[in-house]
Every structure is written in C-alpha cells, then in structure tokens.
Amino acid sequence: MLKHAYAALLAINMTACGGSSDAGSVATPQPPSTPTTPTAPAGGPAVLASGLQVPWSVAFYGGTPLISERGSARILALGANGALSTIATIAGVRGSGEGGLLGIAVRDNYLYAYFTAGSENRIERYPLTGSGAATRLGSAQTLLTGIPSGANHNGGRLAFGPDGMLYASTGDAGTSSRSQDLASLGGKILRLTPDGRVPADNPFAGSYVYSYGHRNVQGLAWAADGSMYASEFGQNTWDELNQIKAGDNYGWPVVEGKAGNSRYTDPLQQWATSEASPSGIAVSGANVYLANLRGERLRKVPLAAPATSSEFYLRQYGRLRDVVAAPDGRLYVLTNNTDGRGTPQAGDDRLLSVPVP
C-alpha cells in the first residue's frame, strides 16, 4: 500500500473555527444573499439514534448507517431497531480541540477513515466483513500520512466522487500560508485512488492536490451532472459554498468570500459566519443541503439558482454537523451539541431522519 508523507510545517497558529481578526488579509465584504424565511417540511425529523458523543460523520454499508465519534474514536452501527453497536475503535487516534476521528466513507467493502494522530492527520482504510451489528473491521491499511494537524482547522471530510476517486478535505491547521503552498497538504482538497496512489490525471503532476486556497473545507458532494461542491468555514466575515474545479485556487488567506479577482475562484454563495459554519453537505435531487453548526439550521441551495437559499429547523436541534442522502430517499442529519460548543438537549447528540424539503 502506498504511503505518502509531507514534512509538517513548524509554525502553528491556533486560530479558532469562529475566526480571529485578520482584516488586512481579506477582501472587502460583499452584500449578503437575499434573506430567507425559515420553514419546516411536513413529516419532519424522526430521531433514529440518541446518546451519541460528538458524532462527526455518517456513511452507509449495505444499508446500515455507520457513525464516527470524534473523541471516542468509535465506529457505531445503527440497527433497524434503533440500537447502536460499537463495531470498532480506530487505533492511533490522538485528537484534541477539533481533532480526532473525523470523516468516514465506504466503498467496495472497505471503510475509509480520516483522523488526527497527534502531529498529523492520516487516511486509512479497513476491510469490512459481516453485516449490521455484526460488521467488523480488518487490519488498517495506511493510504496517506503527513496531513498537517492542529487544535483547529483539520478539515476531515471524505467522499467518493462519481469518478471512483477518493476526495479528502484538509484544513490549514492554523497556519494560513499552507493553503497557497502546493508543496503542503494543508488547506486543500485532495484526490486519491482508492488504494492511496496519486491519480495520473490530477491537475498537478505527482501531487494529491486537486484544489487549493482553502481555509477549512468541511463538506463534499456531487450533483448528477458530475459537478462538485464544497462547504468552507470562513474566518470573521464569510462562510462559503463553492463549486470545485480541478486546479482552481479559492483564495485563502488572500481573500475571504467573493473578491471579484480573476486569480481566485469566487464562491457560489456566502453567508455571515454568525449564521452558518457550514459542515457536511449532501446533494438530493436539484438541491444541495448544508448542515450548519454556529447557524444551527439546515440550509437548501437550488443548484439552478445557487445565489438563493431556504432555511429549515432554525435553532430547533442546535448545531448540525453532517447531512447525507440516505438510501431510503430521506436526509440523515447529525447534531453536534456535546462538543463543548453547543447546549445539549435531552438525548443529544442525535441522528435525525429528515424528509427532503
């Protein structure tokens, strides 16, 4: 199995997700998009699981939802009766702050995991056997090491694209200069073959880097036409929804939000950081859905009109970490209120089943 390590940069700037002031490095603020009125679709959310501890990601194996927990490093399987079973605890996870066991993905009877291992983030995969609560993980196969880690901005989302390649979002790990440095894996979206090699058609020869100039990408999804979308945490001003294209530069830390600078790719839409912190995203039908942490809402953006949006469940369920399109046609949404930044409600954290708005 191919392993690849990049030298970690030494300077670590402990910038929090909510942002710290760096007004000189960002673009002139642009007007926000047209405000929308929060609504609620009929038949909405059913609680599928409760009592989760800082859950981060949901993936499906043979119809069984698998959930990662950031702090405990557990992988949980959700049974048809609503019971949760610990099917594995990922070895080597050493996280603090926003680090730990983060994104997971499933493909061809392998579970892929992105996690913090002290001074670096890693991607590993594990053979899957069994089914349901009897699902088990085989021995770890390391695919990629040397992704910069920090107390904040670890990225962490994993997703397979329609091309069969594995995409991973990384953060700048608190050192913003990494995002513009093509020799660093920090502040990027990476593209790997399923066994960890650099695809021959990546935009930068011999490099895992697919796009760069990112601060902290938290969500990855594709539309039916193959277009790729990503959510990204801003610093003090704008959070973003971007359309991702191979080799493009998304501007951080030179710009934040829409800059109108031809050197950088502007977001499709931006939101004030107080109203968003978009984490996991999913495409269902002709819309992209964004789970919002600080904004405490589910947001819908029509792909045909990406400068508009609608909002659902405003502050009803607290912080929302992930949203995925489930096999049953609904959306599965993870709350994130037990990480020390939210206000836990009874039963938190929870996995919700939501009708497609």
The answer to whether 238 touches 252, Cβ cutoff 8 Å, is no
Residue 15 lies in a domain: no
| Per-residue pLDDT, 80 | 87
Q: How far apart are CA 217 and CA 156, in angstroms?
A: 8
Amino acid at 43: G
The answer to whether 240 touches 232, Cβ cutoff 8 Å, is yes
| Per-residue pLDDT, 39 | 46
Residue 2 lies in a domain: no
Q: How far apart are CA 121 and CA 355, in angstroms?
A: 34
More confident residue, 313 or 11: 313
Burial 69-91 (b: 16+ CB within 10 A, else e): bbbbbbbbbbeeeeebeebbebe
Residue 231 lies in a domain: yes
Residue 125 has pLDDT above 50, yes or no: yes
Instruction: Report the DSSP beta bridge partners of residue 233.
Output: none
| Per-residue pLDDT, 42 | 59
Residue 33 has pLDDT above 60, yes or no: no
Residue 11 lies in a domain: no
| Per-residue pLDDT, 24 | 33
As a whole number, the mean pLDDT across the chain is 90
Q: How far apart are CA 13 and CA 151, in angstroms?
A: 9
Residue 297 has pLDDT above 70, yes or no: yes
Residue 51 lies in a domain: yes
Residue 5 lies in a domain: no
Burial tier of 339 (Cβ tally within 10 Å: 0-12, 13-18, 19+): buried
Write out 115-172 in H/E/C secondary structure. Answer: EEECCEEEEEEEEEECCHHHCEECCCEEEEEEEECCCCCCCCCEEECCCCCEEEECEC
Q: What is the CATH number of the domain that holds 281?
A: 2.120.10.30
| Per-residue pLDDT, 26 | 36
Pairing of strands 320-325, 209-212: unpaired
| Per-residue pLDDT, 357 | 80
Residue 13 lies in a domain: no
- For residues 282, 287, 293, 295, the Cα torsion angle rounded to the nearest 10 degrees is 180
Residue 17 has pLDDT above 90, yes or no: no
Across the range 78-89, mean pLDDT stands at 94
Residue 7 lies in a domain: no
- Phi then psi dihedrals of residue 87, to 5 deg: -100, -15
70 is written with which tokens?
């950031």
Percent of the chain with pLDDT over 70: 88
Residue 19 has pLDDT above 50, yes or no: no
Quote the number of domains for the chain. Answer: 1
| Per-residue pLDDT, 14 | 33
Residue 103 has pLDDT above 70, yes or no: yes
Amino acid at 341: R
Domain of residue 237, residue span: 46-354
**262 Cβ partners below 8 Å, 6+ apart?**
none
Across the range 265-272, mean pLDDT stands at 98
* Secondary structure (3-state) at 11: coil
**283 Cβ partners below 8 Å, 6+ apart?**
221, 222, 223, 224, 229, 289, 303, 325
Cβ neighbours around 129 below 10 Å, total: 11
Residue 36 has pLDDT above 90, yes or no: no
What pLDDT digit, counting tens, does each position of 42-70 carry?
A: 567 999 999 999 999 999 999 999 999 99
